[in-house]
Amino acid sequence: DAGITQSPRYKITETGRQVTLMCHQTWSHSYMFWYRQDLGHGLRLIYYSAAADITDKGEVPDGYVVSRSKTENFPLTLESATRSQTSVYFCATRDRFREQYFGPGTRLTVT
């Protein structure tokens, strides 16, 4: 039972490039989330999705795009990467008890 998987685990990209981070869950949870984790800020919500084809902005959505065509997948796209988007990105789902479970993370470096 893999739960939540994220890919890639590590990514280095250049400023201005588009990059997509993938998130896949095997639980069929309705809610999925994208967070970024930075020193001094803790975990901050980027986007969330309540179900397939339903997405909404979180605390820090600028520069990011999401989609959710299938319940199990929730990709996060940086349309034109900037150095300030260097971070560790976590995908999470929420179960019926409203507890969130996190994936292993993607460490993104923008040079």
Partner 1 sequence: EDQVTQSPEALRLQEGESSSLNCSYTVSGLRGLFWYRQDPGKGPEFLFTLYSAGEEKEKERLKATLTKKESFLHITAPKPEDSATYLCAVRESGGSNYKLTFGKGTLLTVNP
Instruction: Give the interface with partner 1 as residue ranges (CB under 8 A).
Output: 4, 31, 33, 40-45, 48, 50, 58, 90, 92, 94, 97-105
30 or 67: whose CB is closer to partner 1? 30
41 or 83: whose CB is closer to partner 1? 41
80 or 98: whose CB is closer to partner 1? 98
Q: Are 36 and 43 in contact (CB under 8 A)?
A: yes
Q: What is the DSSP letter of 60?
A: S
Q: What are the DSSP calls for 85-110, one per residue?
A: G-EEEEEEEE-TTS-EEE---EEEEE
Q: How far is the CB of 59 from partner 1 (least distance, A)?
A: 8
